[in-house]
Amino acid sequence: MLKGIPKILSPELLKVLCEMGHSDRLVIADGNFPSESMGKDAIVIRMDGHGVPEILDAILQVFPLDTYTDKPVQLMELMDCDKGKIATPIWDTYKEIVAKYDERGDKAVGNIDRFDFYDEARQVYCIIATSEAAVYANVMLQKGVV
């Protein structure tokens, strides 16, 4: 056991976060995200039973966001056919969490097209697979320096 480390962060995840370098990225994926197929060249860590907000909050306690890019936090944008039909209140939760740890607040959060998100996810260092039930709840983080 360690002091000051959120209990949700497993030894495996802490090791991966520590291994990551400046500009490396990770995805915290919702329950619908194809984590295994997207993560063929990445480390996939399963965190079943947990939602994205609690994992995001815990990670940002130990993980610096990249200050050399305007939007080190990326969300998967709604498809045109879903705009106006699907609400994404979880995005506001993410922005509140990011604001606790990054002085840019919600300005550090951007959105990218679903298929661009998938392309980027194929190149990340780590994908964290969760049981998050909210749709469009995937978030990509780019690591900065301490």
**For 31-71, how does the pLDDT look when each residue is reduced to its tens digit (9 = 90+)?**
999 999 999 999 999 999 999 999 999 999 999 999 999 99
**Residue 94 falls in the annotated catalytic set:** no
Instruction: Report yes or no on 58 lying in a domain.
Output: yes
**Residue 48 falls in the annotated catalytic set:** no
Instruction: Report yes or no on 114 lying in a domain.
Output: yes
What per-residue confidence (pLDDT) applies to 62?
97
- Under the banding of pLDDT at 50, 70 and 90, the label for residue 128 is very high
Give the pLDDT confidence of 74-125 residue by residue, as tens digits. 999 999 999 999 999 999 999 999 999 999 999 999 999 999 999 999 999 9
- Under the banding of pLDDT at 50, 70 and 90, the label for residue 8 is very high
What per-residue confidence (pLDDT) applies to 1?
74
Please report, for the domain that includes residue 127, its CATH number. Answer: 3.40.1650.10
Burial letters 26-61, b for 16+ CB under 10 A, else e:
bbbbbbebebeebbeebbbbebeebbbbebbbbbbe
Burial letters 111-138, b for 16+ CB under 10 A, else e:
bbebeebbebbeebbbbbbbebebbbbb
Instruction: Report yes or no on 79 lying in a domain.
Output: yes
**Of the residues 82, 101, 113, 118, which is catalytic?**
118
Instruction: Report yes or no on 48 lying in a domain.
Output: yes
Instruction: Report yes or no on 4 lying in a domain.
Output: no
- Please count the structural domains in the chain: 1
**Residue 50 falls in the annotated catalytic set:** no
**Of the residues 30, 57, 66, 102, which is catalytic?**
66
What per-residue confidence (pLDDT) applies to 33?
98
Domain boundaries, position 92: 36-142
Instruction: Report yes or no on 135 lying in a domain.
Output: yes
Instruction: Report yes or no on 30 lying in a domain.
Output: no
What per-residue confidence (pLDDT) applies to 2?
83
Average pLDDT of 14-31? 98
